[in-house]
């Protein structure tokens, strides 16, 4: 099973659009879980979404903590990370994403975002459950929002376990990257962007920890 997990705040309409895009393009059943802060002023709107799983908890101040919480509340073999400002554009994405996964299921799989078709960047990746179980989290817990995709990409590249899935395209409607259907800058973007410098510092200061995680993954790969 594929679990789609998404941290969302104050954007129930956008979250609904993301959910509908996931379901309209998937060939099989995909479980979707939203992580919502208990102090979100739009919480009642999220609670009215009876067709998705909700994980409501005290605000952690950023999407990374929510993603790490959500992955513990799910048990799918594959975990697709999404944001509430994204749309899935590719029919059959759920089958395409996993078709080249290694048999030991230790990998990071990355589709393409619409504005980055000509440039491969890990963004809204899929991870195998086994990868997450070995590492212990989806993204580095000390970070609030930024730089974690880059760190994940570097780990997977070192192991030759980064699987590019160019046939799957995700539209990221970020206010800085998208025109036309983008989301206007709001308090969520402002909060996230405020942590950019510190998040980057934390990730780059954590090289020894990432070395340890890579060693654990390599041991598991060689042991198969």
Q: How far apart are CA 128 and CA 77, in angstroms?
A: 6
What's residue 188's pLDDT? 65
The number of distinct structural domains making up the chain is 1
Report residue 81: phi and psi, to 5°. -85, 130
Span 166-195, pLDDT tens digits: 899 998 876 555 545 556 666 666 666 667
**Residues whose CB is less than 8 angstroms from the CB of residue 125 and which lie 6 or more positions away in sequence, other chains included:** 80, 81, 108, 109, 110, 149, 152
Mean pLDDT of 15-29: 95
**pLDDT for 117:** 58
CA atoms within 13 A on the CB side of 99: 11
Give the predicted TM-score (pTM) of the model: 0.89
Domain hosting residue 67, numbered range: 2-222
The whole-number pLDDT of residue 215 equals 97
Q: Are 55 and 61 in contact (CB under 8 A)?
A: no
Run of H or E including 66: helix 63-72
Cα separation, 207 vs 199, in Å, equals 14
Stated as kind and residue range, the H or E segment containing 93 is helix 93-98
- Angle (CA) 66 191 19, round 5°: 50
| pLDDT for the residue numbered 179 | 47
Antiparallel, parallel or unpaired: β 108-113 and 53-57: unpaired
Q: Which of 36-40, 78-82, 215-219 has the lowest mean pLDDT?
A: 36-40
The average pLDDT across 105-119 equals 80
Q: Which residue has the tokens 């802060």?
A: 37
Q: Answer for the pair 98, 71: CB distance below 8 angstroms, yes or no.
A: no
């Amino acid at each position: 099973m594929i679990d789609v997990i998404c941290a969302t705040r104050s954007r129930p309409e956008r979250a609904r659009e993301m959910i509908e895009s996931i379901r309209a393009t998937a060939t099989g059943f995909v479980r979707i879980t939203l992580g919502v802060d208990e102090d979100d002023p739009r919480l009642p709107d999220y609670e009215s979404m009876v067709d998705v799983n909700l994980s409501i908890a005290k605000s952690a101040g950023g999407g990374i903590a929510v993603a790490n919480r959500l992955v513990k509340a799910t048990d799918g073999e594959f975990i697709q990370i999404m944001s509430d400002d994204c749309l899935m554009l590719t029919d059959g994405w759920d089958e395409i994403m996993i078709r080249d996964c290694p048999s030991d299921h230790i990998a990071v799989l990355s589709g393409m975002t619409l504005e980055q078709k000509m440039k491969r960047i890990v963004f809204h990746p899929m991870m195998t459950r086994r990868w997450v179980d070995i590492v212990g989290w989806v993204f580095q817990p000390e970070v609030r929002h930024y730089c974690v995709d880059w760190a994940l990409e570097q780990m997977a590249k070192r192991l030759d376990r980064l699987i590019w899935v160019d046939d799957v395209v995700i539209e990221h409607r970020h206010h800085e990257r998208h025109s036309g259907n983008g989301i206007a800058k709001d308090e969520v973007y402002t909060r996230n962007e405020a942590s950019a410098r510190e998040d980057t510092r934390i990730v780059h200061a954590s090289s020894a920890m990432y070395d340890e995680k890579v060693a654990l993954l390599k041991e598991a790969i060689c042991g198969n």
